[in-house]
Structure formats: structure tokens, C-alpha cells
């Protein structure tokens, strides 16, 4: 199964809707088609999971014991900022205002395919992050991450 890749910029209309990139839609598996979970990401961006991938996360959460303090804290603060959505008939995703504000998204959103999920950025935030990453340090990171992994695989 192919993962999401590529970068796509689309405008957000007055109702908070964004077109879902056609190229990414073609990658969706039939069982997940049209259904997504959107939530706060680790950087100031949003994560968009197709429902089949999100199910794995839910299964993991379901295993957490809610009668311990840590369990409750994890579940509450993780699920709080997550919400389910479907594409409308024009293949658009509605972005709820509280997530848009949090991610600094206003008139434009950038979709970045990132394997099993999709990231949604505001152009400004993305630029900031980019500014802090030179090509040289990217090379280093790449070697570090990919290097380790291939070592593990051996």
C-alpha cells in the first residue's frame, strides 16, 4: 500500500473548507475513503489520518486503563483535540475554527503527504520551521535516521 507524499497548497474559503488534494485522494484505500480524523500535531500543524490508519491509534488508546491518573490524562488530552470528518461532495474538508486558530491557518493551507498520515500547515509556520533547517543539517538528520534504520534491519 502506497503512502502519502507530495506538497499541495489550497485556499481556505470563508466557511473554513479546503479542497482535499486529488492526488492524495487517489492514494486512499477504499475502506477509509472519505473518512478522516484531524487533530493537533506535534509541530504547530494538524495531522490528518485516514480512518483505517486512525483505527490503529484508537485500538492502542482503548488498551489504556482509565482508572489510573496517567491513563485518564493521556486519553483526555490526546482525544480532546481530535475530531472525525468526511469529505463533502466536492471533496473538501471542513476545518473547525479552534484547530485553524491553533495551527495559525487563515486563508491558505498546505498539505504535506507524510507516509501514513497527512500534515496540514499554515504557510507562515512552515516557513519558520524551514528557516531553522539548513540543507546541511537536513543531510545530517537524514543520514542519522536512515542510517540507524538500515543498521537495525541488518
Partner DNA sequence: TACATTGTGGGGAGAAGTGGGGAATAGTGG
Partner DNA sequence: CCACTATTCCCCACTTCTCCCCACAATGTA
Q: Is 78 in the site for a copy of itself (CB under 8 A)?
A: yes
| Residue 142 contacts which entry, DNA, a copy of itself, none (Cβ below 5-8 A, type-dependent) | a copy of itself
Q: Calculate the CA 134 to chain-centre distance.
A: 23
Whole-number minimum distance, CB 14 to a copy of itself, in Å?
22
Question: Distance between CA atoms of 24 and 22, rounded to whole angstroms?
Answer: 5
Give, as ranges, the residues between 109 and 128 that touch a copy of itself (CB under 8 A).
112-117, 119
Here the cell at position 126 is 512552515
Sole window of 11-19, 87-95, 139-147 interacting with a copy of itself (rule: CB under 8 A): 139-147
Sole window of 12-20, 74-82, 87-95 interacting with a copy of itself (rule: CB under 8 A): 74-82
- Contact predicate 84/36, CB 8 Å: yes
Question: Distance between CA atoms of 110 and 46, rounded to whole angstroms?
Answer: 10
- Number of residues interacting with a copy of itself: please give it, by CB under 8 A: 56
Whole-number minimum distance, CB 114 to a copy of itself, in Å?
5
**Which of 34, 36, 13, 20 is CA-nearest to residue 105?**
13
Amino acid at each position: 500500500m502506497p503512502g502519502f507524499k507530495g506538497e499541495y497548497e489550497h485556499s481556505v474559503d470563508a466557511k473554513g473548507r479546503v479542497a482535499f488534494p486529488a492526488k492524495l485522494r487517489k492514494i486512499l484505500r477504499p475502506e477509509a475513503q472519505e473518512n478522516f480524523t484531524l487533530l493537533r500535531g506535534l509541530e504547530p500543524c494538524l495531522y490528518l489520518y485516514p480512518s483505517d490508519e486512525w483505527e490503529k491509534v484508537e485500538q492502542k488508546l482503548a488498551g489504556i486503563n482509565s482508572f489510573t491518573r496517567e491513563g485518564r490524562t493521556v486519553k483526555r488530552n490526546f482525544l480532546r483535540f481530535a475530531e472525525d470528518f468526511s469529505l463533502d461532495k466536492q471533496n473538501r474538508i471542513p476545518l473547525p475554527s479552534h484547530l485553524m486558530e491553533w495551527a495559525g491557518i487563515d486563508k491558505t493551507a498546505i498539505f504535506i503527504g507524510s507516509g501514513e498520515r497527512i500534515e496540514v500547515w499554515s504557510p507562515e509556520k512552515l516557513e519558520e520551521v524551514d528557516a531553522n533547517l539548513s540543507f546541511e543539517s537536513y543531510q545530517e538528520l537524514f543520514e542519522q535516521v536512515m542510517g540507524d534504520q538500515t543498521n537495525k534491519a541488518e
